[in-house]
Structures are given as structure tokens and as C-alpha cells.
Structure 1
Amino acid sequence: MNDNRVKDFLAAGALFLAPFIFFFPLTLGTKIFFDGDFQIFYYPIRVELARAFAQGRLPLWEPGIAAGFPLLAEGQIAALYPVSHLLYRILPIQFALGYELLLHHGWLMAGMYVFSRSLRLAMPAAIFSALVFALSGFMMENLLITNLLATIAHLPWMLWLLGKILTAQRRQARAAWFVLLAILATFQFLSLHVQYALLDLGILALYAITWSWCESSPVPIRQSLGVAVLVSIVAVLLAAVQLVPILELTRLSNRAGGVTYEDFTNQSVELKHLALFLSPVVFGGPKVTPGGVVGYLGIIPLVLTLAAPFWERTRRTAFWVALALVGLFLAFGEFNPIYPLLYRVPIFNSLRISGRFLYLVSFAAAILSAISFDSILRNAPRINSTRLAKIAATIFAFIIGTEIVSMYQVDFAGWMALLNWLPIALIGCGVLIVWLTARGKLNRSFAIIGVIGVTVFDLSAFAAVLLQSENALVSSTDFFQAPPSLAAFDTKADQSRILTTGALVPPFPVNQASLYPNLNLVDKISSAKSSTGMWIQRARDYTDNFSPGMLNLYGVRYIVSPIFPRDESGRVVSQPSDKFALRLGTDKLDVPPIMATAIEIDSYIDGEIGEGAQVGALTFFLDDGSTVQMPLRAGIETKAFQAKATSARFDLPKGHALTGIQLASDSRADILHIEHIRLLDPQGNATLLDYAFGASNHSLIYRDDEVAIAENYDALPRAFLVHSAQVLSDSDALRRLREYTFDARQGAILENTAVGGAAALSVPYSDDSPEQDDDESVQITSYESEHVQLKVAATRKGYLILSDTWYPGWIARIDGNDTPIYRVYYTLRAVPIDAGTHTVEFEFQPRSFYLGASISVVTLILGLITIYFVRR
């Protein structure tokens, strides 16, 4: 190995290790990212991935979110990606999460160096390209999108391997390079971020088309393009084990009709956003600037990128300029006049978020700036000033080292104060360094130190702003600790679920306390909802507008309400509310005449209020036209919540029926919460009045500063029997489910078409007594991710309902015999059952996965045979 190869190896190795220094808290495991998708999506599904690996299985199905979800088919769990096995089979989760980011960031930087060197750029310029792209605004803004980084980290290596194939003289060498390229292209589809995998294959194809022209090579275009196309085909076939399940899920998901035009043009770059290339905080920083539109490259890289077409007038430069301009043109999205036409282009119209095309701009700019840097370095004199250069390098290293440490110490305001004037200072400094170097007036060593040092300082300052906002870190101890609210849940015995309310993603630690989907997976608690990029549309239709009966059918035993937002002083702006619980307005509510001797009120108050102060009053209307008023006073009839609501009793005049109830207009509705109203008849029997007012039997059982948890006493078990059914269309089924009077125990609502191999039921079995009998039972004897076993004792014919999501690939057996699974209640599962004692099994055997695996295996075998004959 010659000296240059040793130096290249050391340089690439140093760049690979650079992220481990830059993000040293992750390396040490003392801190972890917690914001946005990283906390509520990547972290919990990686926990589930590690759990599945420990159990010796693949996470084909996850029952803990959305009443069941094909997690592997969604793709982003990356269960088939080799790096996932390396990390999540070996490392503890707190290290695996951080190291997944660090390894791919390092691999990207090393790849940028190697690819830049293959373009015949000097070592300093190659290092510069790696630093510019890895620390660019695009990369730092998308740092926490784990699959994005894992996908694009392979692109520079793929471009380098394509060049090796096209320049190799021996057939065996070309075959070896081709195999490596096919492996990396396959990794992109296993990582998995489909959009960036497609973009990378597009870049590979464009690079192949123009390679001969750029390199003045005799290799014909059909040969270079043929390599790129063949690699893409092989990669798709090898990754079929992942892609075929994705296609099946897509057909049943929110993406079935393609992305909407709104998603297609989301995060479009406006003309004014071009100012972000000069300063990433020109509009106020990350908390104000729309996400996904920051293309900041650093001042010196921007100057060098703009100068590249003038200083290096080559075909190679023209290619990268064209790629950058195409990327910028597409990034304009809705502000681009031809975008409505592009929305009609197949495959292209499946790409979400037009701002993501800044990826092309950033990648091309990193190469262009390195080309310019390499060009001006050739003009720089090589004056022997080793000692001074070492001193300068030491000073810059100290400054940057101090900056890196400070990134985790100085707050957001401090870094914003620096960035408000830094770009202005760097424009002058950067232009001066570049001009002096280009004119041959600056020593080469000083030019290298100045350009790289100033650029790293510049880009690190913006990274620091993000590390104190969008990419903030928190102590690993705080991140991984179990929230106190966890003690309120008892879901293991009855397989019940929780429902976390709210459309907005709450902040940390409210996320933790509320088990916001998918954080419930960490603690093995099932949630009615999920936070995934792709979801089963029927399940989402069901959960978007629950009726009380739908909530009960889903087995939702706990309703969790995050307590936010808060104002600047930390005061809660709006109190949590359970929309299924009792809500009394100031209008009179009429009820059928009910004989009652007393009324019991369960209530509690929020906020500070003096002892004995009246916070509300209830007026009861009797059948003789008279009224009785019941005061609710702090500390007497109602109190602040302490583990449960306060119960107060009020006697009614004997011999009268209650006909209505009304909350006094001057009641403190912002403080007073009436939970239950019970009527006691002369025999002492209680009637819950909540149902008459359209409410469910819910009680608040836990409350702290982050979350309120109510228990639903009407939740149905995960599995039960019914003895009646009706067949309805989808629209009629949803309409019936959303009626207030809907009760799943009164009979099944079946699909009116055949699904999953089950014959259509035009005349389903029905019985006059639909509910499960007292002497009937359904017991879940085993409940695992891909296998459920139940013991059923039925006295008569009926249907076994399992309130898990219906999805292709689930099969059922009764006493060992295959039986059809019917889609029931729009999105759940049912099997017909005869009288007697039976063992019923549900097992997930997705044909899409096995079909994809077969394609992948056959492709691998054919590939190995081809390699064998090529090497002979």
C-alpha cells in the first residue's frame, strides 16, 4: 500500500469517527435526542425491534398500536437491514439508538471523501466536501430522521463503485465491484426511506448517463446506463422481501390513491427562502422558520459553489451545476408553475414534500465547492512554514473543540445571538480567504486551515442552534425512566387498550407521561392509535371519530389526556377533557321520569379556591313542577382531585319523580368537573344517569402536572361472543357504529363482500338473544405478536369477535381446522363458532412476506451462480 492510499485510509477513517466526537454525548450514552419523530416513532419501534430480535423473530405484526399493525411492512423499522441486526442484537437500546445515527453519519462522511478523491480532487478538497455535506443545513435539519440518514449514507459509495465498474479492466474486478454496488443499493431499500432510495437511484442513473461525457471516456452510454439500470433491478429483486409487503400495505393504506397534492407540495421553498443560503436564522431561527426549507451550506462553501462554473469550466462541473439547479427548481414545489404537470408523472407523483429536493442541492453543492477549493489550492504557493501552520491549526482546533463542547452547554438564545451577526462577519472573512488563495497570495497550508476551519466553525454554530431546539438532547436517565403515570395502568390481565387524546404532539416529558403513540410500546401497553407515516385506512377511519360504543368495542379501558399547552409562565392554558365522560352545560337536560329518593354526585375541582366557596349548583326538576337545588362547595360537596373524585349525597322529596337537571349558569365550569350522577330508588338501587346524557361510565383515576387518566368501566374484553349478525355496506357500517346507541354485544356487523378468502355472508346467522350468555366464556390462553390462542365455551351457534385489526395474512383454525376470518365492525376480526368447547387460533402468515422472500432468495441464488461462472 503506497503512502497516498495510507493517507486516504487514515483520512476516511478520521472522517468516519468525526461524528462520534461531534456528538460525544451520544457516544458516551449520557444524552439522547428526544424531539418529535425520534421520540414518538423511531425510539419505540426500535425498542420493539430489539425485543423481537431477543425473542428470535421478525416484527411482522405489532398488536400494541392501532389494534394491530403490520410493522415490518411499514418499512421504517428496518428489521431486514443488516446494520439493525448488528446494533439492536448486541448493544443496549440507549447506545444502539445513538450509534445508529453516528455510524451512518460517519459512513456518509467517509463515502463523500472516497467519492471526491475518485473525482481526482486533492485530499483537503475531499475532506472539505465531506464536512460541507455532513454539516449542511439540510443534513442537520433531518438528522433525527433515522431512515433518511441510513438511506442516503450509501449514495457517495454507490457513485464511487459505479466509477470503479466503468474503469475496471478485468471482468472479475467489474463483477466484484458490481456485487458491492448491488449490495449497497439493496441496503437503501432495507434501511428504509423509499423516497430517498428512489432519488439516489435517479442520481445514479444520471451520473451513469453523463459519466462518459464528463470523464471523456470511450465507455458507451448504453453500457454505463445499463450498469445503473441492472443494479437497480437487482436491488429491487433482492429487497423484494421488504418491498412486496410494503406494496400490500400501501394498497390498504392512506397512500392507496397516491399522495395528495398538498403532501406532494408540502414544505415548498419560496423565493424568500433563498436568503437562508446566506443566513440560516434570517427569519428568526428554527422555532420560526418553516421546517425543511433551510439549505444553508456555510458562507465559504456558498462562495465556492457559485464560483465553480467560472473557475472550473469542465463537463464534470456542468453536471453538478445542473443537478443543483434541478434540485432547486423542484424544491420550489407549489411555487413552481409546472408542478401540477409533474403531479401526473407516475412514480414522481409518489414523492412527498418538495422541500426534500434540497438534498440534491446540498449534495451537488458539496461537490462543487470542493471542486472550486481544489482549483484555488493549485494556485496557492507552497511556502515552507510548517511551524506557523501547526500553530494556526492548533488554534483552530482549540476554537472548534471549545465550540463543540459549548454546543451542549450554551442555550438557544446564546447561539442565536452569535448567529445573528456571524454570517455577516464570515462573508467578509470567507471572501477574503478565497480571494487571497485564488490570487496565490496565501500559503497553501494556511488556505487549507482557514477554509476548512472557518467552514466547520460556521456550520457547527448552526448545528448548535438546532441542538438547542429541533435536535435537542436530554439526559439518558430522564429519557429512559418510566413515568409515574405508568402505575395507573393495569392492562396486562384483560388485554385492554389505552387511548391518548389530542391532535398535537405534546412536549417532553408530557409525551412520556401520556404514553403518546407509539411510546406505549416501550412499556408493553396497547394503544388504540399509532404514529406512523403509513397506516391502515380502515383502522384510521374507525379511530378518527369514536362513539362510546366503538371505544368500548376496541377495549379502551383508559383515556389519557396530555396536559398542555402552557403559557410562558408554565400555567396550563386548557384543562384536559375526556370527551366521552359526563359534560353538563347550563341548558336544562330532560330525562324520563324516574322515581328517586336521593342523588349522589361525584365531582372534583381544579385550581386554588377558598374553603366553603361555592363553585357550582345543580337544579333538579320534579314531576310536580317544583325544583330542588344542590350547592357544590369547595371542601364540602366537592374537593380537589386526590386519587378519586369526591362523592356527595342529596336527599330528594319523597314520592316525586325526577324529570330534568340543570347546572346553574354561574357555576365555575373552568374549575368544577362533575363526573357521575347516580339516582337512588326507594330500595337503595343506584341508576347511573350519565348514559341518559350521552356519556360513558368513566372516572378520573390519576392526575399530575403532565397527564390526566380516566378509566372506562364499559370497555369490552379483547374477545367475546355474539349470537346475531347483520350484513352492511362500509358506509352503513360506519354510520351504525357512530350512533350513540351502538353496542357491539347486540350483534356483529359483517362485511357485505368476500375478503381474505372468506365467502360473502348474504344471510348471516342470527339469534333473538344476541349477547354472550352467562355460562359462556372466552379465555385468551396465549397472546403473542403473531399468534393468538383462545379457549371458547359456547352454548349455541354464534360468532367469536377478536377486536384486533383485520389484515391479509391472518389465518384462523378452530380445533385445528382452517376457518375463514370475516371482517367485522368495519375493521376487526370474527370467526363463526358452533356450540361446544373449542380451541381457536389466529396466526399471522403474510403471503406478501413469503412471496417477497422467495423472490429475494431466487435472485440471490441466481446471483451467486452468475458470480461463480464470471470468476471462472
Structure 2
Amino acid sequence: PSPERERGRGEGVGGWGEGLVLPALAGLALVIALQFTAGHLQASYINLFALGLYALLGGRPWFRSDDFSRFGTRATKVAITNLIRDLLRPAKTIGRNLLIYVLSMSVGAALAAVQLLPSYELSRLSIRSGGLPYREAVSFSLRPHLILYSLLPTFGEDLSQVFGGESFNEYVGYVGVLVLFLALVGVLGQWRRGRTLFFVFLGALGLSLALGLANPAYFIFYKLVPGFSFFRAPSRWLYLYTTAMAVLAGLGAEFLAHSLPEKARIAGYKRWLMRRILIALCLPAAFVILLSPILDFPRVPTLMAWVLLAWVGFGFVLIGLSRWGRRPVFRLVVVLLIVGELFAASQGLAYNNPTAPEAFSFLRTAPAHLLTDRSLYRFISMSDIIYDPGDLKEIQQIFEGQLSPKAIYDYVVAAKRKEILAPNLPLLYKIASVDGYDGGLLPLKRYITLLRLFLPEEDILPDGRLREQLKQVPEGRLLSLLNVKYVITDKVFDVWIDGVYYDLEHTATLGRGTTPEVAVQNLPRFAATSLGLVSYLEGAEGLADGTPVVEVIVSDVEGHTQRHLLRAGLDTAEGDYDAVAATRPIQHAKARIGHHWRDHPGGNDYITLVDLGEATVLKEITLRYLTDVGRFHLRGLSLIDERTGTSESVVVSTAGHFRLVHSGDVKIYQNLDVLPRAFVVHRARVIEDDKAAVAAMRDESFRPNEEAILAEAPPGWGAEATSPQTTLNSDRVTIISYEPERVIIEADLASEGYLILTDTCYPGWRAHVDGKESPIIRANLLFRAIGLSAGQHRVEFSYEPASLKIGAAVSSATLLAIVVGLWLVQRR
């Protein structure tokens, strides 16, 4: 269409003008509703943001055709003058466009209310309520030094290595070199058209917002534009750039399809247009050359492909400006070239490089072990994938010749991720994780508050991924509070010393402010001739050489007992020896160093052997701290048979009772003190403040199997409601049915108390005790509690959210109104 016709169509959003009718509005609302129900709120936000801009700026011509009677400076001045005049057009026009936008968005939101209202309910309680911190909001920003990789296609490049992770698709927004040429033709050939410059603006805006942290203006959007603070991954704004490039390329293709007289009338002479194209190409080239010191460039084959594609693009623009531009064969060749370019470039994307199906289907040993336990429990995995699987050589031998080296590597990575039950895999195996995802506890804001039990305030990240922040196994009582029965760790930081393996995952701490002794029972049936101990002292620099610090009492199965002493400077010593010695003198020497600390290479673990004489099967090992100065940290303990050169590691911890139940590529420890998913306590305290509740639970006197911290006082609250003499063992709690939205429990209480269900307390859950509704009390910051009297009870929890019911009603009523409205319009 001509610019004059385009101007005539420019009234209203999308050129509807007087033709705005209910069917069109309903159609747009339906598209918005489908987008909402697709589930990715950030994508919906970006789309609606762009639609709002289109309502304000894109629904009318930015320039008028009669301003271009001749080319040159005057035309530019007139264009700028009219641009300002259009921006100051009457508020009535802007109001009409915004009314259409608001109506369509409101009707679309009402259609999707069945999803939006529950989502809103969740968002108010989630970790993103109130917005993300700025540093978190700009995570996953486009990286300026990799901008060429993001916007231009690569050939034969491993983008996962370039961007440092397999989620590189977040940073890739290329449309192809040939498409960029078409978009350039669209801009220069049809820049008088009303909406052309709007899409230039939209593409530039999307690209600038995708830079996130590297764009200072992003902070202004974060502070001033509603919604920006709720999302991270600014790189997703590349969607606006790719959309704009696609539209502009379409305009370029449309321009080339015109006849020669029409092209001359629209854009001027061919020589003028080619000159502008050359200038436009020189600008980004100069920009790249200027920034070349800070840009990362791809390898030579990709650079050569870019040069070749640029010549091809320039060539088909030349041909397109001639009479050949209207020939079907030319159009077909252009389409084939674009598709071929994008197909070749897409070969570097992850989905085009699959590995063997067994990477997904083959069950590894760690999840297989957990699947044998059919009880209700949660687990936590603290392992990374920096280890090599034990069957690495077998995997390479099996797939060599069948898969590429990259595919074999991906298979190995997949195997390691299954072994540690990496994020998303617990959902596949239906094994509940303690993390705020993966079928575990909901990542609510209170979940982040709960993490203060396990991490210092400064180490907590607002994403609910506890597994990635822990460096040591938490206390057993705190894990029990969360129904954590199993802990998965790797062996990367365990050590072999003199051919003996030492498990360093747990630590027993004796001395000042802690327990004076620890006893290890249930030892493996292993004939040992000596004990290997890995340890260090803390705050004991005043102990002289040879001072006894720990007594090791060993009892065997035949009833014999041996006593041995560990001495400062001989068997153990100050751990951070050099750092302490730099500030004050140490009275004892370093013992034999067996290992340096993981996060502090200057720290030392010391190794010593305790000779047991003849080989004996041990029944119990007790370690007793002998001084009132400092602390003794036992990092590892192994039984050694020096006759055969074999050994057996022993788990020792003063933070709980753990047993090693699986040892393969990773280790699985069972928390022997784990509480069931549902249990009864007979003591309670009411602490309404969440931070105070966390402080109370962190106190070592808090025992989750004996008392609960309630967020509010239950009906009839008083001193008579507690019975501290009753213990857990005198009550019986049985889970009859456990489903996602319905839990049935039978409880038999010796005295009145509280039934604790360690599932998230969330709006919409209702409880019935013996058929009568009973209030649910939030307990231990995050969980559900029900007050019960003595005797037998049947408790049923059911999820019946009002937000879902109201949302369904609103969606149904809106859909009915639209159907009736369309029917009435059709009758007219």
C-alpha cells in the first residue's frame, strides 16, 4: 500500500480505526489469554510491554509522505518537525489506543483468571514478592563482549563453551545475515511507512534491555516501570529484537517484490538506495572495529562465512532492485538461502546434538537406591558433577564409534547429573527434595527465611536452591525438622593418605562449648590392626608439645578395652597454624600434615595412627577431650588392616547420627534421627515473628520431636495445653493416604498435643478432624499443625483454594459474555 493509504489506516491500534469491532477485540483478548495460560509470565510481560508501546507509537505513521518531495536536509528537518508534532498529537487519539489496549488486556486477563488468580496468590508469598534485588534481577544479562555470538550465526562453534553453560540459548537471538540485509532494505526502502521506524525503535529497545547490567538505563526501568523488578534474565528481551528484525525483513521482501516504478516512487532511485545501504553497512563495521579490543570473535571459518553471506546478501539486494526482484524464481532462491543459512547455523544448538537415549532412560545407582525406600521422606544433594564416574571407561568403550566425542561427553555429564539427582530429576523419579523446587518444599519467602537455620545471612541466595549453597552436612536435628532422611555427597574432597581412604564429609567437634566426648558404635565387622585419625586443633595454641588432648578408648567384641592418647604437636596440632603463628606464638609443633583444607589451603588436617596390636574386631570407639582449652576436630576415622593393606572408613559426627548406606560414584548417608512426615508433639511455643522463630529453632535446646513453634495461638491456648512428660514413642501416627491435594492421617495420642505435617502451609488447605473442620496453624515457620485431644482421630487435609474457584468463575463468565456478545453482533 502507498504511504497515503498507510496514513489513512493509521488511526487506532493496528489500523482498526472505525473498523474496531467486538470480534477483533475478542480475538486479541483470546490471544492474550492463551499467552497467560501458557505459564511463562515473563514472556507474557514482554509481549504486553511491546503491545503497549505499539498502542502508543505504532498505530500511526511516524512521518508523512508529502514531507519527501525531494531528498536532502530539508526533508530531514520536515520529518523531525512532523515527528515532534505527531508525538504531541491530541490526547483523544492516544486515549482511544490505550482504551483498546486496556480493554483487550483486561478481557484476556479475565479469560485467564483461572490461572492468574492462583498465580497471583503464589506470587504474594513467593521469594519474588516485593521484587528481586537489582543484582539478582540483572543476572543472565546479555554479555557485551559476546554480542557477535548473540546476534550473528556461528558455524562449527560450541556455544556452550563460548557462553560457559548449556543454557546459552538465553543469549542467542540471531535471525541470520541474509535476514539482516532484508531488514536493512525494509528500513531504507520503506522508512516513510508509518510503522517501519516503530519496529526499528522496538528492535533497538529490545537489544538495549537485553544488555541488562551493561545498560545503565536498565536500572531506571527497574526502579520506575512496574514489573521489571520481578524478573531476571534480561537477555530474554532479545525477543523484541528478533521480532522486529522479522517484521523489517518482511517489509524488505515486500519492497523488493514491487515493480521498478513503484520502487522508485517509494524509495527514490536505485543508486540512492544502494548508497544508503553501503553507509548503513559501514556503521556497524566501524562500530565492531572500534570495539574490537573488548569483543570476542569467533573462529576463522565463521568469520569467512559471515563475509561470504554478506556478499551474497549484497548480491541479492542488487538483483532484487532490478526487474528480477519480481520473478518467482528469485523469491524462491532467497527463501532457500535464508532457510539454508539458519539451518546450518542451528546445528550448534543443543537440540541438534543429541546423545544416546540411555542418557535419559538408564537408571544410575544413587537414585536406584533411594527408589527402594517406599516411605515418605525428603533428601538433599550436596554434590557437584566435578567427579569422574566409575564406569567412565566402559561408557567410552560402548559408545566409541557410535557417538561423537561431544555426544559421549554429554552422556557422561547426564550420567553424573542423574547420580546426584540434579535439579528437575527428582520430579522425574518422584523423589521429594528439600530444595524449594523439584517436588519438595515450595520456594516461598518463608522458605528463604528458613534457610537461616542452615546458612549465614550473607550466604543466602533468593532462589530457594539450598543444595548449591551448603558446604557441609547440616545438623541432624535440623534435617529431621524437614523430613530429610538421605544426604547425597560426592567423594571429591575425601582423601587417600598412605593408601587409606578417609571420609571427610562429617566432623566430630569436642571441647570448649561443645560435647566433651563422642562414642562410635555399630562399627563395620572389620579386623583392624590400627586406627587412622585425621584431625586438627582450634584455639589450642597454648598447649605445649606432648600435651595429651584426646583419649581414644577402644572396645572389641570380646570385651577387651584399650586406651590411647593423642598429643599436641605429635598426633594433631593447631589447624590454621601459620595464620595463628603470625599473630601469637604456638607452644607446640606441627604434627604430620595429611591434608589441606578445601576452602583454605593454609589450613591443615593432621594424620596419626593408633596401633591396636593384633587384629581385632571393634565394637565401640570413644574419644574424650582431656583439656579445657580449645577444641578438637576429628575430620576422618578409618579402620586399617596393615596385614592386607585394606581399610574401612567410619562416619563420626557430633552434629547428628548418620550412617553410610551407599558408596559408589557418590555417597548416600541416612539420617538416623529423621522424623516422619507426620508426627505428634506435646509442647508448643507461640512466636509470631518469623526471625524470632528461626532463632528459637536454631537454639540447640530446640527439639523438633518434642515441641513446635507456632505462628499464632490456637483456640484454647494456655499452659494446660502442654504436656511435656509425654514423648513421641507413646503416640501412633499413620498416613493412610498421601496425594498431592489430599492427605489422610490416623493419630492416636496419649494426651492432647499437636499433629505436625511437614508439608508447606499454604492458602487453600483445609483440615477436618473426625469429620469436623479444624483450623490449620502454621508451625515451625513453614509447616502445618492441627491441635488434637487425647485419643484416636482421623485427620484429612484437602486442598480447596478459593483463588482457583473464583478464577474459574471469572473465566467462565467472561467466556460466556464474549460468546453472547459475538452472537448478538452476528444477529445484527
What band does the TM-score fall into relative to the shorter chain?
Answer: 0.5 to 0.7
2:478 matches 1:554: no
2:522–2:619: 8 Å Cα contact kept in structure 1? no
> TM-score w.r.t. structure 1 length?
0.62
Partner of 1:765: 721
2:264 matches 1:358: no
CA distance in 1, matches of 2:418, 2:812: 41
User: Which SS does the other structure have where 1:749 is aligned?
Assistant: strand
CA distance in 2, matches of 1:486, 1:422: 46
For residues 721-773 of structure 1, what are the alpha-carbon distances to aligned partners after superposition, in whole Å with 9 as ceiling and x for unaligned?
1111122332222123234554212311111x46xxx6695768322325224
2:766–2:800: 8 Å Cα contact kept in structure 1? yes
Partner of 2:447: 539
Q: Who wins on radius of gyration, i.e. which is larger?
A: 2
For residues 155-176 of structure 1, what are the alpha-carbon distances to aligned partners after superposition, in whole Å with 9 as ceiling and x for unaligned?
xxxx9x98596686xx9xx444
Of residues 21, 30, 47, the one that matches 1:183 is 30
* Map 1:399-438 → 2, pairs under 5 A: 418-438=301-321
2:256–2:325: 8 Å Cα contact kept in structure 1? no
CA distance in 2, matches of 1:222, 1:618: 75
Aligned-residue offset at 1:363:
0.4
For residues 360-407 of structure 1, what are the alpha-carbon distances to aligned partners after superposition, in whole Å with 9 as ceiling and x for unaligned?
1110111112211222243689xxxxxxxxxxxxxxxxxxxxxxxxxx
Partner of 2:586: none
Structure 2 letter corresponding to 1:583: T
Structure 2 letter corresponding to 1:715: V
CA distance in 1, matches of 2:515, 2:151: 68
CA distance in 2, matches of 1:673, 1:650: 31
2:377 matches 1:496: yes
Aligned-residue offset at 1:513:
2.4
Structure 2 residue runs of 5 or longer lacking an equivalent are: 66-91, 262-297, 388-412, 455-473, 538-542, 574-590, 598-604, 611-617, 624-633, 635-650
Of residues 777, 793, 801, the one that matches 1:838 is 793
| Residue identity (%) | 27
Aligned-residue offset at 1:830:
1.1
CA distance in 1, matches of 2:556, 2:319: 85
Partner of 1:375: 255
For residues 531-585 of structure 1, what are the alpha-carbon distances to aligned partners after superposition, in whole Å with 9 as ceiling and x for unaligned?
379821222433562532120122211112257799xxxx9xxx99999x63269
After superposition, the Cα gap between the structure-2 partners of 1:509 and 1:232, relative to the gap in structure 1 and judged at 3 Å, is same
2:788 matches 1:801: no
CA distance in 1, matches of 2:325, 2:125: 63
Aligned-residue offset at 1:837:
1.0
Partner of 1:132: none
After superposition, the Cα gap between the structure-2 partners of 1:531 and 1:619, relative to the gap in structure 1 and judged at 3 Å, is closer
CA distance in 1, matches of 2:138, 2:436: 25
After superposition, the Cα gap between the structure-2 partners of 1:496 and 1:793, relative to the gap in structure 1 and judged at 3 Å, is same
Structure 1 letter corresponding to 2:33: T
CA distance in 1, matches of 2:379, 2:814: 44
* Map 1:123-134 → 2, pairs under 5 A: none
> TM-score w.r.t. structure 2 length?
0.65
2:734 matches 1:779: yes
2:179 matches 1:298: no
Of residues 121, 133, 137, the one that matches 1:248 is 121
Structure 1 residue runs of 5 or longer lacking an equivalent are: 1-115, 122-158, 382-414, 605-610, 632-646, 678-683
User: Which SS does the other structure have where 1:352 is aligned?
Assistant: coil
For residues 807-859 of structure 1, what are the alpha-carbon distances to aligned partners after superposition, in whole Å with 9 as ceiling and x for unaligned?
11111111111111111111111111111111111111112222222222222
2:436–2:447: 8 Å Cα contact kept in structure 1? no
After superposition, the Cα gap between the structure-2 partners of 1:419 and 1:798, relative to the gap in structure 1 and judged at 3 Å, is same
CA distance in 2, matches of 1:262, 1:504: 26
User: Which SS does the other structure have where 2:728 is aligned?
Assistant: coil
CA distance in 2, matches of 1:747, 1:658: 40
Of residues 422, 426, 449, the one that matches 1:520 is 426
CA distance in 2, matches of 1:416, 1:465: 14
Partner of 1:52: none
For residues 213-267 of structure 1, what are the alpha-carbon distances to aligned partners after superposition, in whole Å with 9 as ceiling and x for unaligned?
24999x9665554333221111111111111111111111111111221233233
2:698 matches 1:738: yes
1:779–1:791: 8 Å Cα contact kept in structure 2? yes
Partner of 1:478: 359
2:150 matches 1:288: no
CA distance in 2, matches of 1:590, 1:535: 33
CA distance in 2, matches of 1:512, 1:167: 60
Aligned-residue offset at 1:199:
2.2
Aligned-residue offset at 1:626:
9.9
Of residues 266, 281, 285, the one that matches 2:139 is 266
1:813–1:819: 8 Å Cα contact kept in structure 2? yes
After superposition, the Cα gap between the structure-2 partners of 1:239 and 1:190, relative to the gap in structure 1 and judged at 3 Å, is same
The root-mean-square deviation of aligned C-alpha atoms, in Å, is: 4.9
User: Which SS does the other structure have where 2:60 is aligned?
Assistant: helix
CA distance in 2, matches of 1:746, 1:717: 13
After superposition, the Cα gap between the structure-2 partners of 1:319 and 1:188, relative to the gap in structure 1 and judged at 3 Å, is same
2:552–2:622: 8 Å Cα contact kept in structure 1? no
CA distance in 2, matches of 1:727, 1:649: 49
2:179–2:246: 8 Å Cα contact kept in structure 1? yes
Partner of 1:46: none
2:193 matches 1:318: no
| Stretch deviating more after TM superposition (554-563 or 265-274) | 265-274
CA distance in 2, matches of 1:870, 1:802: 55
After superposition, the Cα gap between the structure-2 partners of 1:359 and 1:746, relative to the gap in structure 1 and judged at 3 Å, is same
After superposition, the Cα gap between the structure-2 partners of 1:199 and 1:578, relative to the gap in structure 1 and judged at 3 Å, is farther
Partner of 2:708: 748
Aligned-residue offset at 1:805:
1.3
User: Which SS does the other structure have where 1:425 is aligned?
Assistant: helix
Structure 2 letter corresponding to 1:311: G
1:500–1:517: 8 Å Cα contact kept in structure 2? no
Structure 2 letter corresponding to 1:234: V
* Map 1:83-232 → 2, pairs under 5 A: 174-209=21-56, 213-214=60-61, 223=96, 225-232=98-105
For residues 16-40 of structure 1, what are the alpha-carbon distances to aligned partners after superposition, in whole Å with 9 as ceiling and x for unaligned?
xxxxxxxxxxxxxxxxxxxxxxxxx
